[in-house]
Structure 1
Amino acid sequence: MPPSARGALTALIRRHGAWLMAAGAGLGILLPDLAAAANPALLPLSCLTMFLALLRVEPTAFIAVLRRPGLGIVVIFWILLACPVLVWCLGRLVLPADDVFLRAMTLIAATPGMMSAAAYGVLLGTDVALLTLVGLPTNILAPVILPAVALLLGGGAAIDPAVTALRLAVMIGASFGGAFLVTALIGRPRIRRAAPAIDTGITLLVAAVGLAVMHGVGPALVAAPGFMTLAILSTLALNLALQATGFAVFGFAIFGFAIPGPVPVQARLSAALVSGNRNMILLLAAISGQGDRPLELIMAAGQLPLYLSPLIVAPLYRRARMRAGR
């Protein structure tokens, strides 16, 4: 393929990345056998996605975030503590305490941000270094946080700490180690020049992950269309509401103790992104086999908004960056 045609193709993929992500998930629902075949590749696909996203993190930006971790710590507390409390309190205004949707929404709000948040950050133009800093500790704390929240809600969430730790170690070790090795071998300038190709690869990989993660969702939608439709709409609404709330909350000046001056818009967008998009794969694995089929169906449906919400928020994120002059 001529370089000009290749450049036009990669630009087209990046420009329509949100649609491709949604298409990957939609394909997984429409073709359940294909989703089932792709599902075993979910871990390596996720590792490769994280690896490419980490290549796009500028070392100077990540070091700057590490040197001033205050904002990251506040975002972590917001995700793991404030969000579930907020969702529970607001939900109790309209739903009984034992309602399965209230329990599901609260569990989702207590779940750490998805490990591929950095990849989404690259595509949506947020602070990828902050997303990386926030993503690691929140997922490491998941085996403690999720069972505790489930116990308070009157249910169980059997997360095997050893299995979770091993999965995280593989993802983190492979992606960080690979990014460090490639950077050392070819240098940061060449990686910067390859940014369009890397972003294209991230887009295609996220779409492939969306295909694989929809394993089981299509048959569930056929078996219980009404319930699954309600579950998809509810989890999508929660995703968008938490994103909007996260962006608004970090616009207040109350975080002066964590970062001098107003929180930059890219950091606010990162807080919004990770507020709404949670590690639904981890949560679904945690509650599977507990005998609560309605709760499992809601969690399965909750994976779809991860691939639908970028279609909705991408223009809003772009507008926020333009207003801030970024």
Structure 2
Amino acid sequence: MLIARQARWVLVAGLVAGIAFPSVAAVLTPWLRWMVLAILALTAFRIGPGLVAGLGRVAGRDLSLVLGLQLVLPLLVIAVAGIAGVSGHPLTLSLVLMLAAPSIMSAPALCQMLGGTGARAMGLLVLGSIALPVTVVPVLWLAFGGAGFVEAVRAALLLALIVGGAVGAGLVLRHLSGAVGARALVRVDAANALLLAVFVVALMPAVAATWSESPVRLLSWLGAAFAANIGVQLVAWRWSGSVDVAVVAGNRNMSLFLVALDPVTMAPVLAFLGCYQIPMFLTPLLMARVYQKERG
């Protein structure tokens, strides 16, 4: 289908539509968490048995890698922010949540587009998602000033229950569907692209509001989003030499926290989350030459 083939441009259209039609976008914003769950279920359906098989490819080094990416890095940001006196800044919380999140579900496909195998990315995706309810507890606890340990545990359990349920539902539906042909998978890709575009539209009111209040602030958040995504990719690439590791390290599914943390807590983060979608969408374009040049 045309939508599936032009998925990147469909997502860009979502960005433009969200900015051009703020009243429509505002209506969609309350549905953000439900969109996250639908995207998870649809993606799990699309990947199917490969999602479970990916766990079998994970070696011991990847467990330590996941702990480094989802636990050590956000704790390091919390420590540096504490020393700098900016622990309570929304940008600090945004970076902490981004780094605490596991890989985006489309990471294996991105890796294949950029010259990687996608196999290791699949293993990191599965292991990171399983580890999230454990690794996120100390991160949330310290991110909110060392108070609310019970709240951090509650959020972690909610993440495990809701995210596991959404992914499990997608896998069960795939199993019940029997053999799924190529044409059906293309339709799933098209549906996922449309749903992602609507999700992006729903994020735009926060971006537009920040722009109206202070264009400089929004540009700084956009710069931080690019630095966090592309910067982490470059560091991970230099350190590991693996496209899979680099893509996973820089592209995180921080939207998962929309289903676990209350809207008041997430409100200051929405503008960064909207900005963060841009380097994610542009990763295949921005990083292709970097990875190909280094591999050559």
| TM-score class, shorter | 0.7 to 0.9
Do the aligned partners of 2:210 and 2:217 also contact (CA within 8 Å) in 1?
A: no
- Cα distance in 2, alignment partners of residues 223 and 75 from structure 1: 39
Do the aligned partners of 1:217 and 1:301 also contact (CA within 8 Å) in 2?
A: yes
Could you give the per-residue CA deviations for residues 74-103 of structure 1, whole angstroms, max 9, x where no partner exists? Answer: 3321212332366578x78xx971144884
* 64-73 or 234-243, which deviates more: 64-73
Tell me: CA distance 1:22–1:180, structure 2 relative to 1, closer, same or farther (3 Å).
same
Do the aligned partners of 2:159 and 2:260 also contact (CA within 8 Å) in 1?
A: no
Identity level (%): 19
The one-letter amino acid paired with 1:145 is V
Match of 1:307 in 2: 277
Do the aligned partners of 2:207 and 2:270 also contact (CA within 8 Å) in 1?
A: yes
- Cα distance in 2, alignment partners of residues 214 and 158 from structure 1: 32
Alignment match of 2:21 (pick from 24, 31, 53) = 31
Alignment match of 2:239 (pick from 239, 245, 249) = 249
Do the aligned partners of 1:110 and 1:149 also contact (CA within 8 Å) in 2?
A: no
Do the aligned partners of 1:75 and 1:134 also contact (CA within 8 Å) in 2?
A: no
Deviation at 1:217, TM superposition (A): 2.9
* Partner SS state of residue 118, structure 1: coil
Deviation at 1:145, TM superposition (A): 1.8
Which stretches in structure 2 are left out of the alignment for 5+ residues? Answer: 113-117
- Cα distance in 2, alignment partners of residues 58 and 71 from structure 1: 25
- Cα distance in 1, alignment partners of residues 54 and 170 from structure 2: 22
Which stretches in structure 1 are left out of the alignment for 5+ residues? Answer: 1-6, 252-262
Do the aligned partners of 1:112 and 1:138 also contact (CA within 8 Å) in 2?
A: yes
Deviation at 1:273, TM superposition (A): 3.2
The 5 A counterparts of 1:1-326 are: 7=1, 9-10=2-3, 13-14=4-5, 16-57=6-47, 59=49, 62-63=52-53, 65-66=55-56, 68-84=58-74, 87=77, 97-99=84-86, 100=89, 103-104=92-93, 107-108=96-97, 110-113=99-102, 117-119=104-106, 121-122=108-109, 125=112, 126=118, 127-139=121-133, 141-151=135-145, 159=151, 161-162=153-154, 165-166=157-158, 168-187=160-179, 190-192=180-182, 194-251=184-241, 265=243, 267-269=244-246, 272-280=247-255, 282=257, 297=268, 299-316=269-286, 318=288, 320=291
* Partner SS state of residue 304, structure 1: helix
Deviation at 1:28, TM superposition (A): 2.5
Do the aligned partners of 1:21 and 1:207 also contact (CA within 8 Å) in 2?
A: yes
**TM-score, reference length from structure 2:** 0.75
- RMSD over aligned CA atoms reads 3.8
Deviation at 1:222, TM superposition (A): 0.9
| Length, aligned pairs only | 286
Tell me: CA distance 1:165–1:28, structure 2 relative to 1, closer, same or farther (3 Å).
farther
* Partner SS state of residue 214, structure 1: helix
**TM-score, reference length from structure 1:** 0.70
* 277-286 or 226-235, which deviates more: 277-286
- Cα distance in 2, alignment partners of residues 156 and 106 from structure 1: 20
